[in-house]
Amino acid sequence: MIVEIGHFALVLAFAVAVFQMIVPMIGAHKNWSAWMAVASPAASLQFALVAISFAALTYAFVTSDFSLNLVVANSHTDKPLLYKISGVWGNHEGSLLLWVLILALFGASAAWFGGNLPPRLRARVLAVQSSVGVAFYAFILFTSNPFLRLELPPFNGQDLNPLLQDPGLAFHPPFLYLGYVGLSMAFSFAVAALIEGRVDAAWARWVRPWTLAAWVFLTIGIGLGSWWAYYELGWGGFWFWDPVENASFMPWLIAAALLHSAIVVEKREALKSWTILLAILAFGFSLIGTFIVRSGIITSVHAFANDPERGMFILMILAVFMGGAFTLYAFRASAMEAKGVFSTVSRESGLVLNNLLLAVSSFVVFIGTIWPLVAEMFWGRTVSVGPPFFNAAFTPFAFAIAVALPIGAVLSWKRAQLGRAMRLMSGVALLTIALLGLFYALGTGRSLAGLITLALGVWLVAGAAVDLWQRTGQGREIAAKFGRLTRLPRADWGKALAHAGLGITFIGVGALVTYQIEDIRVAQIGEEFDVGAYHLTVRDVREVQGPNYISTMAFVEVAKDGRIVDLLTPEKRIYPVAGMPTTEAGIDSGFTRDVYVALGDPQLDGGWAVRTWIKPFANWIWGGAIIMALGGALSLTDRRYRVAAGAARDRAAIGVPAE
């Protein structure tokens, strides 16, 4: 019964979405205020209906209702509760339901918090947002219905893919989707603005928090996914340039560009049509990402769905929305006249460079991801494009962005002096070059690119600190400067934190690829061996029974300078229901290094294969992502957003450029 209510609610949500797509749009065109006004309650109702639908599916999973096809395929009574819940979105149908739930949530939020939007713009934004919903409701109901019943329910389910039974991955999809789908708001605002034919500072101020929020969620989602891959896939890699990872990385890069170009629109009324284009592209990449993941068209470790019919449907959604938006753009973009005048050296130019590098690097990831498809379609060549390509083609862009960032960040608006910015950063630059020289001279490094990444990380972090410090003004006493530091706008802190977070990730990546130590060996029980500065002892290997798996668990003691640091328990698990083995690494996480032990197969002549790594600064990779997200969140709580984009007197109060 509850399942049927959920199914019915989804159909109703579809109907409401169709209504919300059409009526407010006509109302806005004809200037009928009653027709425009229905958009907000419709958005709330739509969200409520999808929420009921999602709750019903969750209920079916939690109570293990095996009359549902989806529950049978992805659940089992022995599964811990957390994974019964995460099983809801650990599959194609359920994850799409989560997708539309978040889409409806963003639409409803625009209705709830968009009170200060001009009614006509709000009606159009909500109508466009709803049109995206219509496409995805249709996709779910016609090709991927999660509420299909079975005639003969089995006694138990087939369990969720054991790789997905993990806390990191349980929360990875919701964050990623919050990011993907959050970019739909930027898209809706862009399309609405194109229909209005008007983009101004106010528009940018409305669109920026949505983009920033989406970017924050994407950052967390990507970070969680990378962290999961690190500890779960068993060899401690953190990024594989897998199509599915790229699918989330492309919108992240474009969203980062969009955030920055929207600043220029907000403060200087320039780059308008470019910002609109980025907003369309950002959501386009989200749709492409959904297409790549859900169609399985590009083979990947993560592509769980492999269904051409569904792929075609998403491709059609992509074609309609991107085709429509670009057509509209072609007709209307010329109406977006730029106002701000700025000189060649200025913050504006710096942000143009930022946008250029981010957009082109995103394009490089895109072409690498789809190249196997293109090469096969046009030349009949079956080629692979793997990490070596991306490392070679993407890294120069990452370096260029990192080199330019701290200097661009301290340029002033309109007209800046490059000399002043250089002088500000000269100390940091010296530090960076000295460190690079020192590391190089010590010479234990495997890769020069890794060393440069490390040094650039230092450059970014120190550069962010200098940026914050110079905001306190010149020639004051140190104490007064510290006082001012605490009173700086949160957007300033957010900016510095986000930039420093990027640097911290650089440091983690650089240190890891340069200084990682690896050891592969057969170890008998009781055997002792050294890896780097650490002394490891294999104490025991035992069978352990888990809730829905059987584990072979090793007990490995890690010591340093005669003192025991940790007792690690790397495991090999077998999930009998899913019939699948997994590896659980034993990791001693530290601030400056991880000791990472993975257990391999038993050897014929006794003993076990054991693989050990010392991974320096590994946690900095995800720590940096967290700090980037924090920076974004802090910026989101800046006064000018809290005061609801403010009345005239607020405008005067925040007249100081808060960047």
Partner 1 sequence: MTRAFAKAALAAMWLISTPALAVQPDEVLPDPALEARAREISADLRCVVCRNESIDESNATVARDLRIFVRERIMMGDSNEQVIAEVVDRYGEYVLMRPPMSGSNLALWLAGPALLLLGFGVAFAFIRTRARSTNPTEAELTPDEQAALARILGDKQS
Q: How far apart are CA 508 and CA 584, in angstroms?
A: 22
Q: Which of residues 159-178 bind partner 1 (CB under 8 A)?
A: 161, 163
Given a contact cutoff of 8 angstroms between Cβ atoms, the answer to whether 494 and 467 are in contact is no
Per the CB < 8 A criterion, the answer to whether 208 and 279 are in contact is: no
Contact 246, 368 (CB under 8 A): yes
Position 447 contacts partner 1 (CB under 8 A): no
Out of 168, 324, 340, 546, name the contact with partner 1 by CB under 8 A. 340
Q: Is 475 left (phi over 0), alpha (psi -120 to 50) or beta?
A: left
Tell me the closest approach of the beta carbon of residue 430 to partner 1, in angstroms: 29
The least CB distance from residue 115 to partner 1, in Å, is: 5
Site stretch for partner 1 (CB under 8 A), options 3-11, 99-107, 138-146, 371-379: 371-379
Which of 82, 360, 433, 438 is the binder for partner 1 (CB under 8 A)? 360
Min dist. Cβ of residue 472 to partner 1 (A):
28
Dihedral of CA 543/545/546/549: which sign? positive
Position among 422, 438, 520, 564 found at the interface with partner 1 (CB under 8 A): 520
Write the DSSP assignment of 445-498 as a string of letters: -S-HHHHHHHHHHHHHHHHHHHHHHHTT-SS--HHHHHHHHHHS-HHHHHHHHH
Q: Dihedrals φ, ψ of 588, to 5°? A: -100, 105
The DSSP-derived string for 329-362 is HHHHGGG--------SSSHHHHHHHHHHHHHHHH
Give the footprint of partner 1 on residues 103-142 (CB under 8 A): 115-119, 122
Closer by beta carbon to partner 1, 11 or else 233: 233
CB of 158 to partner 1, least distance (A): 6
Q: 167-196 vs 272-295: helix axis angle to the nearest 10? A: 140
Residues 45-84 that bind partner 1 (CB under 8 A): 69, 72-73
Find the shortest distance in angstroms from Cβ 404 to partner 1: 13
Q: Pick out residues in 569-598 that bind partner 1 (CB under 8 A).
A: 572, 578-583, 598
Which of these, 144, 105, 7, lies nearest to 65 by C-alpha position?
7
Q: Which of residues 186-245 bind partner 1 (CB under 8 A)?
A: 202, 232-235, 237, 240, 242-243
Q: For partner 1, which residue of 26, 82, 301, 320 counts as binding (CB under 8 A)?
A: 301
Distances (CA, A) of 405 to 267, 421, 463, 629: 19, 11, 8, 18
Cβ 379 to partner 1, closest distance in Å?
Answer: 5
Pick the binder of partner 1 from 2, 55, 328, 393 (CB under 8 A). Answer: 393
Beta-carbon neighbour count of residue 506 at 10 Å?
26
Nearer to partner 1, 442 or 520 (CB): 520
Binder among 392, 433, 434, 544 for partner 1 (CB under 8 A): 392
Q: Which is nearer to partner 1, 479 or 652 (CB)?
A: 652
Instruction: Give least dist CB 157 to partner 1, A.
Output: 10
Structure tokens given for 559: 């010591």
Interface with partner 1, residue 516, by CB under 8 A:
no
Between 642 and 651, name the residue whose CB sits nearer to partner 1.
651
Q: Closest CB to partner 1 among 38 and 202?
A: 202
Nearest C-alpha neighbor of 310 from the set 325, 297, 327: 297
Tell me the H-state helices in 144-200.
167-196
Using rule CB under 8 A, residue 32 touches partner 1:
no
Q: How far is the CB of 33 from partner 1 (least distance, A)?
A: 10
Smallest distance, Å, CB 20 to partner 1? 18
Residue 416 is given by DSSP the state -
| Residue 366: CA count within 13 A, CB half-sphere | 19
Applying CB under 8 A, does 334 fall inside the site for partner 1? no
Among 226, 275, 300, 516, binds partner 1 (CB under 8 A): 300
- To the nearest whole angstrom, how small is the minimum distance from the Cβ of residue 240 to partner 1? 7
Stretch of 44-52, 285-293, 387-395, 615-623 contacting partner 1, by CB under 8 A: 387-395
Q: Which secondary structure element, helix H or strand E, spans residue 420, and what is its range?
A: helix 418-442
CB of 582 to partner 1, least distance (A): 6
- Say which DSSP state 534 is in: E
Residue nearer to partner 1 on the CB measure, 55 or 517: 517
Q: Does 341 bind partner 1 (CB under 8 A)?
A: yes
Q: By CB under 8 A, which span of 168-176, 390-398, 503-511, 534-542 interacts with partner 1?
A: 390-398
C-alpha to C-alpha distances, 604 to 522, 601, 607, 608, 609, nearest whole angstrom: 11, 9, 8, 9, 11
**In the complex, what is the shortest distance from the CB of residue 129 to partner 1, in angstroms, rounded to a whole number?**
18
Of the pair 78, 307, the CB lying nearest partner 1 is at 307
Can you tell me which of 29, 521, 539, 639 binds partner 1, judged by CB under 8 A?
A: 521
C-alpha 197/C-alpha 25 separation (Å) is: 15
- Cβ distance to partner 1 smaller for residue 472 or 582: 582
Site string for partner 1, 266-285 (x = CB under 8 A): ----x---------------
CB nearer to partner 1: pick between 1 and 648 = 648
Is residue 645 near partner 1 by the rule CB under 8 A? yes
Among the residue ranges 1-9, 57-65, 323-331, 346-354, the one whose residues contact partner 1 (CB under 8 A): 346-354
Contacts of 514 (CB under 8 A, 6+ apart): 439, 445, 446, 447, 450, 451, 453, 454
| Sole window of 124-132, 158-166, 320-328, 628-636 interacting with partner 1 (rule: CB under 8 A) | 158-166
Residue 339 found at the interface with partner 1 (CB under 8 A): yes
Size of the site for partner 1 (CB under 8 A): 91
CA dihedral sign, ordered 194, 196, 201, 203: negative
Q: Compare residues 135 and 536 and give the one whose CB is closer to partner 1.
A: 536
Is the CB of residue 570 less than 8 Å from the CB of residue 592? no
CB of 66 to partner 1, least distance (A): 11
Q: Footprint of partner 1 on residues 425-444 (CB under 8 A)?
A: none
Q: What is the rounded CA–CA span in Å between residue 270 and residue 265?
A: 5
Cα 564 from Cα 5, distance rounded (Å): 57
Closest CA to 587 of 621, 547, 624, 558: 558
